[in-house]
Amino acid sequence: MFSRELSAHGRAFLNYESLAGVEVKDMTIDGFPAKLFFNPARVRSVMADVSPEALQQRACFLCPDGVEENQLTHNWESSTGHTYYIRVNPFPIFSPHFTVSSSVHERQELLPHLEAMLHLAKELPEMTIFYNGPMCGASAPDHMHFQAVPRHSLPIEDHFSTNYANAILVQETDLQTHLAAVKRVLAMGTIPEEASQTGSLTIGASHSEEYEPRWNIVTWYEDMWHTVIFFRRESRPMCFFAPEEERILFSPATVEMGGIGIVANRESFDRLTPARLRDIIREVADNPLA
Ligand SMILES: [Zn+2]
């Protein structure tokens, strides 16, 4: 009931034109069925400047004051004691596509909210919930949030493979057992001592204050909890910083690690061949088991 109501809100609010114009290329990569979406409306997310300076200068779009007038908010209270605002993402990749943000303006950090994320997955079995780390695709790293999209949106859900992005899958029927198992995997992640040039979200930005390992997390509930963990080495690939004529504006987050590449300009869409996509994912993915 809850999720059906949300879906109705979502469809009413969504800018369908922005999704209707999306072009799709299918790409099989080492046997994994990835896709590339050309979605010009996503340019704000792909190009997001999330340097501390830029964040200070903008109003937070996940806080109540920054929400657009016609954007409905559903309050969701987790049994963990946290409250979240569920709203339609005004820059959707999927339909519907929600943001689930903390009712408190606090930094993007997974561990304090991981259990709530698992509860949400069970309460919304028609949705897949994901988390982008502050250095791994979150366009509001200063405000804790998840995203929720329809189940089966990401190829990794139905075609689990470690080949594409060194994905690690945890499956358990008991919540606390699952939570503990996911935490054991997450404990393998390390905080990079020094962000490399390509790891910087904007050229020249300082990231000396990274506080959690770089990761993207996906979770859903179907008979049991399923959580996929992607560890990350780089925030953005080298090609993002390449000269204009070779540049590919590709900024991998959970959706990309899960098999859906998003680009917001025509040149990048044409340049991104299956071989390039495979190389980029290898470049940004980490494998703590190796
Ligand atoms: Zn905020």
Q: Is the pTM of this model over 0.85?
A: yes
Q: Is the dihedral of CA 99, 104, 110, 116 positive or negative?
A: negative
Ligand 1 mean position, distance from CA 63 (Å): 4
Ligand 1 mean position, distance from CA 132 (Å): 16
Ligand 1 mean position, distance from CA 76 (Å): 17
According to the model, what pLDDT value does residue 267 have?
Answer: 94
According to the model, what pLDDT value does residue 2 have?
Answer: 52
Ligand 1 mean position, distance from CA 26 (Å): 36
* C-beta of residue 93 within 8 angstroms of C-beta of residue 14: no
Beta-bridged to residue 32, according to DSSP, are: 29
Q: Which pair of structure tokens corresponds to residue 1?
A: 């009931």
Q: Residue 241 contacts by C-beta under 8 Å, 6 or more apart in sequence?
A: 197, 198, 203, 247
According to the model, what pLDDT value does residue 54 have?
Answer: 83
Ligand 1 mean position, distance from CA 148 (Å): 18
In a 3-state reduction of DSSP, which class is residue 241? Answer: helix
Ligand 1 mean position, distance from CA 34 (Å): 33
According to the model, what pLDDT value does residue 197 have?
Answer: 43
Q: What is the mean pLDDT of each run of 10 residues along the chain (290 residues)?
A: 55 58 91 93 78 83 84 92 92 89 96 98 97 91 95 97 93 98 95 56 50 95 98 92 93 96 93 95 90
Q: How far apart are CA 219 and CA 169, in angstroms?
A: 10
Ligand 1 mean position, distance from CA 170 (Å): 31
According to the model, what pLDDT value does residue 200 have?
Answer: 44
Ligand 1 mean position, distance from CA 61 (Å): 6
According to the model, what pLDDT value does residue 199 have?
Answer: 45
Furthest C-alpha separation in the chain: 51
Q: For the chain, which residues make up each domain, given as ranges? A: 23-60+111-136+151-284
According to the model, what pLDDT value does residue 90 have?
Answer: 78
